[in-house]
Amino acid sequence: MDVLQGLNPAQREAVETIEGPLLILAGPGSGKTRVITHRIAYLVKVWHISPRRIMAVTFTNKAAREMKERLHRLVGRSAQEATVGTFHAICAAILRRDGRVAGIDPSFVIYDEEDQIGLIKRSLQDLGIDPKRYPPKAFHSAIDQAKSQLITPEAYDRQQQGYFGEAVQRVYRQYQTLLDQNHALDFDDLIVRTYYLFQSHPEVLSKYQSRYLHVLVDEFQDTNVAQYAVVKQIGGKYRNICVVGDPDQSIYSWRHADLRNILRFEKDYPESKVVYLEQSYRSTKTILEAAHQVISVNRDRKEHGLWTANDVGTPIRVVSTLDESDEAHFVVAEIQRLVSQREARHSDCVVMYRTHAQSRALEEMFLRYGIPYQLVGGTRFYERREVKDVVAYLRLIRNPYDSVSLARVINTPPRGIGKKTIDDLLQWTKSLGIAPYTGLNMIASDEPIPHFSGRTAQALAGFFHLLHELIEASREHGVADLIDLLVRKTGYQHYLLEMDDGDERWENVMELHGIARELQHLSPRESLDSFLDGVTLFTEADRLDDTRDAVTLITLHQAKGLEYPIVFIVGMEEGVLPHFRSFDDPGQMEEERRLCYVGMTRTKSRLYLVNAMRRRLMGGLNANPPSRFLQDIPPRLVESAKLVEGEAWPAPVADRETSLEAGDYVQHARFGEGVVLSCHPARGDQEIVVDFGNAGTKRLLLSLAPLRKIDG
């Protein structure tokens, strides 16, 4: 019974309720992950249920990893037998294992958003629809929403009226046809195709229903219609479905999450039991009360009395600044003060904001003052050109029918196959009703193809033979060795290093290689499948480095599930938070309030709510009043301040008046020591090229770079 030790009465009740449907309403910091893992441990150690018969579903890879680590500590190595993962990862595994009966190639590739948009553009081209009238992203959003609600292309025209609805239905059909031709699935297909696999093949569903005696779902308020439908299918036999969530933290309607799922769970399962986890272990009394006052205005929620035994804590600081630059100044100065007085480390601090665009002013100030930071959701690692190139090669090796990946790498590095040749290849194979890979095979055969001749045919045949060689090698080599082989055979390393920033790009390829090496214990086929699924289902929050002593810059949406001792929420203004798009929609305004609530409850001890009196938005300078959410916080919980421009700001590490010359030695907060190679005027500033040795050569602006001149 050691798995029950340390649990409060409500947590213990949730763990010990093992039969029938269970709804656990868990407020922020109430220990929901602890409850889920201890509940699984209780099933295994007390009721002797095999871990193999337990499925636990969550929404992020980070949460899944944390759950697996905790389970391993609680029940040992047998925890590996439990199915723990995200909806998409679990459904991808089901489709690879059993999807063939529904016509799904086990070697399918998973298309990310960029791939999906590209395929929609091809669909528009095929159908003769003007992309200027209706942008591809509008079709992508409509198709995404349809799939999240289990609406097929055939059913879509019965759901929509007007020209755009008719256009969406046509594009949806063509888009799905192209996915099938490429042996590809998009993110939503992983869920939707699993649902229809179970619906059309009861024998497959029966296998999973019989296996999983218990199904647990974390962050249930974030599920959409399709995800909930799959949960009900798998848990349909034993009905031991345990869902954990909090309606007050539902912030993903733009991803088509349906708050009604958690609000109607008790109607779907009348025999269900409800357990409230109301003790918060994270935040101070002050922060918890302020957050409750903000969220309690919402109507579409389940009231629960969140409380804490923690200290009252310090008042919430509400700070008004002149503009976004002044706002960034305040944040930087306050973090410098906290660190210099040993009240915090850089990694204790997080700055949250409503939109990615708000990070620009913050980044510039952090760089100028030489404060280490990590930006979540900037230039995403897996979206960098060189990373996508290598991944495209691997996807093509795994599934040569993937025409999107083929078009990307067929002339990368350049091998004499221009855009016109690629277009001709795609059009020719389309006219024959065959895949581009099949067409390449025909070109590489001894039989002449009139459509392609001479150097063009030779170049295309050469690429086919290269691809065929890599496909054969993939049967014997794990994914890390395969990356080594493909960069050597294709000349990709030499191709990158010829670029101005080639060293940095090659470092990214090596980082990708390092990730691949973690899978070297698997068979060649398993390592490639696992790597490609992991890459596609990766989220930027998974890249957070908890070991770095650096301030985190992150959007409020991405901060869900995280916690920090000190939280700054910037942009607390009307039009920013809440966002201006929510002004005429009561439902969206409630979600903006939930977003603010999520941000406030990420903090343990100190909370700063910062607004600017004017801010550049959408290309113009706007004067916005403070956020309405600030008015909901009782004045007794708040310490307010209004700062004028430049008030009490410390001098930056590299002052604008500083001048450097070629040959000077400098120290950089991130890259270490280096030597200046050249200096050039740049719009009233200096652009400096510095050789940092192992860190490579960097181009920096003197006014922003955290550089300090040192003696050589």
Question: Residue 650 carries which DSSP code?
Answer: P
Q: What is the rounded CA–CA span in Å between residue 217 and residue 215?
A: 7
Query: Does 602 participate in catalysis according to the annotation?
Result: yes
Q: What is the rounded CA–CA span in Å between residue 217 and residue 61?
A: 14
| Contact (CB, 8 A) for 568 and 551 | no
Q: Which of 249, 284, 321, 456 is catalytic?
A: 249
Query: Does 323 participate in catalysis according to the annotation?
Result: no
Give the start-end residues of each E strand in 505-602: 551-555, 564-570
Helices 187-200 and 202-211: crossing angle in degrees, nearest 10, is 100
Q: List residues bridging with 559 in a β-sheet.
A: none
| Contact (CB, 8 A) for 668 and 632 | no
Q: Which of 53, 282, 388, 602 is catalytic?
A: 602
Query: Does 249 participate in catalysis according to the annotation?
Result: yes
135 torsion bin: left (phi>0), alpha (psi -120 to 50), beta (else): beta
DSSP per-residue letters across 121-140: HHHHHHHT--TTTS-HHHHH
Q: What is the rounded CA–CA span in Å between residue 382 and residue 365?
A: 26
Query: Does 219 participate in catalysis according to the annotation?
Result: yes
Q: Which of 98, 115, 189, 219 is catalytic?
A: 219
Query: Does 32 participate in catalysis according to the annotation?
Result: yes
Please state, as a whole number, how many other Cβ atoms lie within 10 Å of the Cβ of residue 656.
13
Helices 32-45 and 61-75: crossing angle in degrees, nearest 10, is 40
Q: Which of 112, 218, 481, 533 is catalytic?
A: 218
Residue with tokens 């080594």: 484
Residue with tokens 């719009």: 683
Q: What is the largest CA-CA distance in the chain?
A: 85
Query: Does 86 participate in catalysis according to the annotation?
Result: no
Q: Which of 11, 17, 32, 386 is catalytic?
A: 32
Residues 6+ apart with CB under 8 A from 366: 328, 332, 372, 373, 551, 553
Residues 515, 519, 525, 530, Cα dihedral to 10°: -60
Q: Return the closest-CA partner of residue 486 out of 380, 382, 396.
A: 396
Is the bond leading into 247 cis (omega within 30 degrees of zero)? no
Catalytic residues: 32-33, 218-219, 249, 602
